[in-house]
Amino acid sequence: MKKLKLNITVNGQKHTLKIDPNLRLLDLLRENLHLTGTKEGCGIGECGACTVILDGRAVNSCLILAGQCEGREITTIEGVTPEDGLSPLQQSFLDNGAVQCGFCTPGMILSARALLDHNPTPTEAEIREAISGNLCRCTGYTQIVEAIQAVADGREEQQGSL
């Protein structure tokens, strides 16, 4: 199979790669770049575990071909985690008991992050809408909404990047 040349920026770092044309963005991240924080739960865009931020928008990376990302910027869970400690959003998930098994968590964090980047003070309805594509089987969602709400309300201190 003929390989495609791809220029892509992931978590601020530029990469030039040769890839199979049918490679999904999810596989590019997990297999080629070893960024395994992005998870595969269904492979058909129904669960949101593979959510990443593509040019500022939360997307399911299982539904996007890597080849479609030429020249574009991707942010994964590894990219929103500070070198030291946790971001306020992550801290709020921790403080509010919003994490149980943790498999949906990276996708949840990125959906929430994309929302807060565009709308730092969302209403509860806007929060519910923003993460309605992210499935969680453990928490019943309530504590996840509370965690995002706490950041939006400024109860979790926002220092620098979310």
Partner 1 sequence: MGFKYIGKNITRPDVAAKITGRVQFLDDIKLPGMLHVAILRPDYAHAKIISIDTSEAEQCEGVVKVVTGEGCDLVYGDNIRDLTPIAVDKVSYIGHPVAAVIAETLHQARLAVKKIKVEYDPLPVYTDARDALKDDAVLIHEDSGEFWHLPGIEPIGGTNIANRYTVKKGDVEKGFKKSDVVIEGEFNYPLGSCSAIEPHGAIVWFHEDSTIEAWSSSICPFIIREELARVYGLPVCDVRVHIPELGGCFGYKSDITVEQTIAFIASQVTGRPVKWVATRKEDFLSTLLGHGIRTRIKIGAKKNGKLVALKTEILHTTGVSADTGVHVLIAATHNSTGTYEYPNCYLDGYSVYTNTPPVGAFRGYGHQESQLAMERMMDILARKLEMDPFELREKNYLGPGKVTSLGETVNKTNGNVKKCARIIQDVVFSHPKEISEDDKYYYGRGFAAMMKTPKGAPFSSKSCYLKFNVDGSVSINMGGAEVGQGLRNVVRLVAAEALQIDPSRIRVYTEIDTQFSPWEWQTIGSMFTTQGGKAVVRAANKAIRKLKETASQVLRVGVDRLDYDGDFVFVRSDPTARIPVPELGRGYTYDDGQTIGEVVHTTADARLPRQSNPDANGQGIMGITYTFGAQGCELKIDKETGEIIIEHFASCFDVGQVINPIQIRGQVVGGVMMGIGASLYEELKFDENGKALNPMFRKYKFPTLKNAPKKQTVEFVETPGEIGPFGARGIGEHPLVAVAPAILNGIYDAIGVDFYEIPVTPERIMEAIKG
Q: CA angle at residue 59 from 55 to 62, to 5 degrees?
A: 125
Burial 71-90 (b: 16+ CB within 10 A, else e): eebbbbbbbbbeeeeebbbb
Q: Which is nearer to partner 1, 7 or 22 (CB)?
A: 22
Under the rule (CB under 8 A), what is the footprint of partner 1?
22, 30, 36-44, 46-47, 49, 76-78, 81, 86, 90, 93-97, 99-106, 109, 128, 131-145
Of 7 and 142, nearer to partner 1 (C-beta) is 142
Q: Using the minimum distance from each CB to partner 1, give the nearer residue, 3 or 7.
A: 3
- Min separation Cβ 71 and partner 1, Å: 25
Residue 47 Cβ vs partner 1, minimum distance, rounded to whole Å: 6
Distance (Å, rounded) from C-alpha 147 to C-alpha 160?
Answer: 18
Minimum distance from CB of 119 to partner 1 (Å)?
17
What CA–CA distance (Å, rounded) separates 47 from 124? Answer: 21
Q: Which is nearer to partner 1, 7 or 140 (CB)?
A: 140
Q: How far is CA 1 from CA 31, 32, 137, 148, in A?
A: 18, 17, 39, 44
Min separation Cβ 17 and partner 1, Å: 17
What does the block give as tokens for 111?
A: 């959906």
